[in-house]
Amino acid sequence: MKTPSTPRPAQKKPDGLPDDDTLLEVLKSARELDVGALARQFGLKGEDRRALRQRLKQLADSGKLNKSGRKSFGAVGALPETGVAEVVERDIDGDLWVKWGQRNGMSDHPKLKHKPPLARLAPLKKAIAQTPPAVGDRIYVRFEQTSEEWIAHLVKVLDQGAPKLVGVVRIGKARKGPRDIRLESVDRKSKDSYTLVAGAIDALEDGDVVIAAPQGGNHRYGPKPARLIEVIGKEDSPRIASIMAIHAHGLKVGFDSSTEAEAEAAQAPDLKGREDLRHLPLITIDPQDARDHDDAVYAHADDDDSNPGGYVVWVAIADVAHYVKSGSSLDRDAREKGNSTYFPDRVEPMLPHVLSSGLCSLQEGENRAALAVRMVFNAEGNKIGHQFVRGLMRSAAKLSYEQAQAAIDGTPDDKTQPILDTLLRPLWAAHACLSRGRRERQPLAINSPERKVQLDSEGNVVAITARVSLEAHQLIEEMMIQANVCAAETLEKHRTPLIYRVHEQPSLEKVGNLADFLATIGLPWNKGEPPRTERFNQLLNSQKDGPHAEIINEVVLRTQMQAHYSAENFGHFGLNLDRYAHFTSPIRRYADLIVHRALIRALKLGDDGLTDYEVKTMADTAEHITATERRSMQAEREAIERYVAAFLEDKVGATFEGRIVGVTRFGLFVKLTETGADGIIPASSFVDDYYIHDDTAHALVGERHHRRWTLGRKIEVQLLEAMPMTGGLVFKALSEPEAPDPNAPRPRLGVRSRVDTALRRKGPGGPKGSPKTGKARQKGITEKSKTKKGKRR
């Protein structure tokens, strides 16, 4: 404990204790002392020491001192040198604020008249290799007082990733206490119910969407207690879907104030140390609503006589490394986020707007810093050479995919007509050349349609449409792939560490599952054959016009491993490439920024390249940004599911065409043809038989009549429920199951679900002959089998 160097002479009361003013002044100068240190300072022993402890406790109870521990005291308004604190809020500048004493409720003690001040969490030091804390986390900090505020320096995160939940508040009519404030989780997988018992719960209203933290303890029965952390919106807000996804997955919103300051201070680039590329008529081709443009392209026939029929393709990428220096606040925020996250109504960007949509965006007619690669392809579409340059470019045109495609298809507009012959047709000719090499390479040709949620100005869903794939999309995709390959090859050649984008070949187990499914529809597949993209493509092409094309495409996609980032190279199975790295999107992916810095270091293009520290922590960075990418994907998917459910909420009772895309023991998963929405047909809704899950045949098979619901079949369904808070949809099957196959083996027994067992006892459809509704449905729980005591059978 800290002892003042020059304490004032002790003014002792007749009983040997210093007077109150002396105690308060000493504690004010020391910030925090325990009873023993104070007793030694005043020379107190025995009964006097015990009297001192009692006097300090009285001063604390009266609000004149803060009691910071069982035997430690501090001045009012002061914080200890170190202590446990909780991150309680993030301000509009993105700074985190912490409250001391949350661990045992000290800062909220009812007898404490003067609450301890909040402290601003200082920016993390570069050497701290951990994810920064989030609101609700408990941390151990060192406090420092400046002339303006208290600062908390992070020592250690105690509850990294502490469990939190997002839910909707439900308040009963007879509100007699905190147990009447219930919380319904918006997580469809959650089977728990909660009651809010702590936090600022008095002002809560029914329908508030909040973040809460489950309290500890053993609670076998009834709702579990939870503590309110933050109110984030109302359940009837049109844009609440994205807000819930952001908070449920802990996505950082906004930027630290120091990050914003660095971005605002950025200057437009000049030619110093750069090659002038402004004579190249590079153009950007992006989605219509794109605000950041990080890649530009230009192509022309190769005029080298030794390469007849070949093409030169330029790909220029925004030089983000010029603005985001290693170790800067911009860099720390970008690494923490890992990538931009895209929702139907908003984008949570990796970089501040002034950079992502400003100086780093390759805007038409503006000088922009770029890292560009010049690639040369022969007539067969094979790359025969490339070279990277760090330059200054100026975009000749900003086009949308639809705009460029329309010009090529014969309907140019005023902007594309002047550049049709000089820029667009050469680009398409170069793409035709590259496509020959792509066909020879045989990347995996899976068709994965995407949904686009269209919103009005208020955030309400007006339409859900399928994204149309144009040749313009394929052109940009292939040129970006080739540029990414160049980056990986160059860095390997110069023996410079990098982060690879890897995609490993499917496991034997997944290939075996594929073979089992194909056998159910009469298609052979040799389980012992090593997985090859050519073999998958042969399967897809042979069935592309058949009745099972869609589901085969889906099953082949599920057979693949998930791509990830790695400091080691395992190749990219899907693209059928030996080496691959992400280089072309540094505005929205941290992996690409690392690759840019690696190229700058390897090719000696500046002093802002990859640092030794970044080389040392490359594997950790790869693991971290893989996690942030998957977190963003999950948040994006959940937001879209909620928007889709909101769109379909007023269509309950309507019928739709769909396809069975999943078969489990508790029901069928159906994807609607028109909107791509996913929902479930609970097994409990089938009243004609007891259905058993045959996992080998990917089917539910009737125990008595042997009729079947099989993976991939088309089906007509009726929408029973749409739940915007969870994104859940519940359907009823209107089609009839397939007739039994006399040649099929009897389904394996022993896999009857608890639902099946419950139905056998209660009769088809449950006690009332229909699936459960209400709260259980809101959580996505379609059937629970319970005894009279509430235990699951």
| Nearest by Cα to 476 from 699, 681, 315 | 315
Q: Are 459 and 343 in contact (CB under 8 A)?
A: no
Q: Are 80 and 68 in contact (CB under 8 A)?
A: yes
Is pLDDT larger for residue 557 or for residue 772? 557
| Neighbour count for residue 697 (Cβ, 10 Å) | 21
User: What pLDDT, on the 0 to 100 scale, is given for residue 105?
Assistant: 38
Which of the residue ranges 66-75, 416-425, 442-451, 695-704 has the most confident prediction, judged by mean pLDDT? 416-425
Question: ∠ CA(739), CA(745), CA(746), 5° rounding?
Answer: 80
Q: Are 403 and 420 in contact (CB under 8 A)?
A: no
Among 275-279, 316-320, 410-414, 739-743, which stretch is predicted with the lowest mean pLDDT? Answer: 739-743
**How does pLDDT run across 643-652, given as a tens digit for each residue?**
999 999 999 9
User: What pLDDT, on the 0 to 100 scale, is given for residue 1?
Assistant: 43
Q: What distance in Å separates the CA atoms of residue 484 and residue 676, rounded to the nearest whole number?
A: 31
Q: In 374-528, which ranges are continuous DSSP H helix?
A: 401-408, 425-441, 471-493, 508-520
Compute the average pLDDT of residues 732-760. Answer: 63
Q: Look up tokens 């973040």; give the residue.
A: 211
User: What pLDDT, on the 0 to 100 scale, is given for residue 750?
Assistant: 42
Write the Ramachandran bin of 407: left for phi over 0, alpha for psi from -120 to 50, otherwise beta: alpha
At 40, the amino acid letter reads R
**How does pLDDT run across 752-767, given as a tens digit for each residue?**
444 444 444 444 443 3
**How does pLDDT run across 681-692, given as a tens digit for each residue?**
999 999 889 999
Q: Is the pLDDT of residue 488 over 90?
A: yes
Q: Is the pLDDT of residue 145 over 70?
A: yes
- The SS3 call for residue 658 is strand
Residues paired with 90 in a beta bridge: 96
Q: What distance in Å separates the CA atoms of residue 570 and residue 580, rounded to the nearest whole number?
A: 9
User: What pLDDT, on the 0 to 100 scale, is given for residue 407?
Assistant: 97
Q: Are 364 and 251 in contact (CB under 8 A)?
A: no
User: What pLDDT, on the 0 to 100 scale, is given for residue 668?
Assistant: 95
User: What pLDDT, on the 0 to 100 scale, is given for residue 61?
Assistant: 65
| Neighbour count for residue 531 (Cβ, 10 Å) | 18
* pLDDT-based confidence at residue 306 (cuts at 50, 70, 90): very high
What is the chain's mean pLDDT, rounded? 83
Q: Is the pLDDT of residue 323 over 80?
A: yes
Compute the average pLDDT of residues 357-364. Answer: 96
**How does pLDDT run across 182-239, given as a tens digit for each residue?**
888 888 877 777 888 776 777 788 889 998 888 765 666 778 888 888 888 899 898 9
- The SS3 call for residue 277 is coil
E-only strand ranges, 199-310: 208-214, 224-234, 275-276, 283-286, 295-301
Q: Are 716 and 657 in contact (CB under 8 A)?
A: yes
Compute the average pLDDT of residues 522-546. Answer: 90
Q: Is the pLDDT of residue 106 over 60?
A: no
Q: Are 153 and 144 in contact (CB under 8 A)?
A: yes
User: What pLDDT, on the 0 to 100 scale, is given for residue 545?
Assistant: 86
Q: Look up tokens 């023993």; give the residue.
A: 36
Within 8 A by CB and 6+ apart from 90, the residues are 96, 97, 135, 253, 254
Q: Are 610 and 600 in contact (CB under 8 A)?
A: yes
Q: Is the pLDDT of residue 389 over 50?
A: yes
- The SS3 call for residue 538 is helix
User: What pLDDT, on the 0 to 100 scale, is given for residue 307?
Assistant: 97
User: What pLDDT, on the 0 to 100 scale, is given for residue 482?
Assistant: 98
| Nearest by Cα to 566 from 487, 632, 621, 484 | 621
Q: Are 550 and 659 in contact (CB under 8 A)?
A: yes
Compute the average pLDDT of residues 138-161. Answer: 79
Q: Is the pLDDT of residue 587 over 60?
A: yes
Torsion of CA 773, 779, 780, 786, to 10 degrees: -70
Q: Is the pLDDT of residue 556 over 60?
A: yes
Q: Are 726 and 738 in contact (CB under 8 A)?
A: no
DSSP characters over 685-700: G--SS-EEEETTTTEE
User: What pLDDT, on the 0 to 100 scale, is given for residue 328?
Assistant: 93
User: What pLDDT, on the 0 to 100 scale, is given for residue 260?
Assistant: 93
**How does pLDDT run across 232-241, given as a tens digit for each residue?**
889 989 899 9
Q: Is the pLDDT of residue 94 over 50?
A: yes
Long-range contacts: 52-60, Cβ < 8 Å, 24+? 52/17, 55/17, 55/20, 55/23, 56/23, 59/20, 59/23, 59/24, 60/111, 60/112
Tell me phi and psi for residue 468, to 5 degrees: -85, 130
Q: What distance in Å separates the CA atoms of residue 224 and residue 218, rounded to the nearest whole number?
A: 9
Distances (CA, A) of 386 to 374, 490, 586: 5, 9, 20
Q: Are 536 and 574 in contact (CB under 8 A)?
A: no
Compute the average pLDDT of residues 366-385. Answer: 97
Percent of the chain at pLDDT above 70? Answer: 80
User: What pLDDT, on the 0 to 100 scale, is given for residue 97?
Assistant: 84
Environment class of residue 558 by beta-carbon count within 10 Å: exposed (0-12), middle (13-18) or buried (19+)?
Answer: middle
* pLDDT-based confidence at residue 390 (cuts at 50, 70, 90): very high
Q: Are 88 and 118 in contact (CB under 8 A)?
A: yes
Tokens at 394, concatenated: 């100026």
User: What pLDDT, on the 0 to 100 scale, is given for residue 188?
Assistant: 82
Helix (H) or strand (E) holding 541: helix 533-542
User: What pLDDT, on the 0 to 100 scale, is given for residue 179?
Assistant: 47
Q: What distance in Å separates the CA atoms of residue 378 and residue 207, rounded to the nearest whole number?
A: 63
Q: Is the pLDDT of residue 416 over 80?
A: yes
Q: Provide the 8-state DSSP code for 107.
A: G
Encode 27-71 in three state secondary structure: HHHHCEEEHHHHHHHHCCCHHHHHHHHHHHHHHHHCCCEEECCCC
Q: pTM to 2 decimals?
A: 0.77
Handedness of CA 397, 400, 403, 405 (dihedral sign): positive
User: What pLDDT, on the 0 to 100 scale, is given for residue 491?
Assistant: 98
Q: Is the pLDDT of residue 503 over 50?
A: yes
DSSP characters over 560-576: SPPPEEESS---BTTTT
Is pLDDT larger for residue 698 or for residue 333? 333
Q: Is the pLDDT of residue 379 over 80?
A: yes
| Nearest by Cα to 628 from 292, 212, 131 | 131
User: What pLDDT, on the 0 to 100 scale, is given for residue 418?
Assistant: 97
**How does pLDDT run across 12-69, given as a tens digit for each residue?**
444 567 776 776 666 555 555 566 666 776 767 677 777 777 777 776 666 656 555 5
User: What pLDDT, on the 0 to 100 scale, is given for residue 147?
Assistant: 76
| Nearest by Cα to 298 from 392, 388, 406, 429 | 429
Q: In 291-362, which ranges are continuous DSSP H helix?
A: 329-337, 353-354
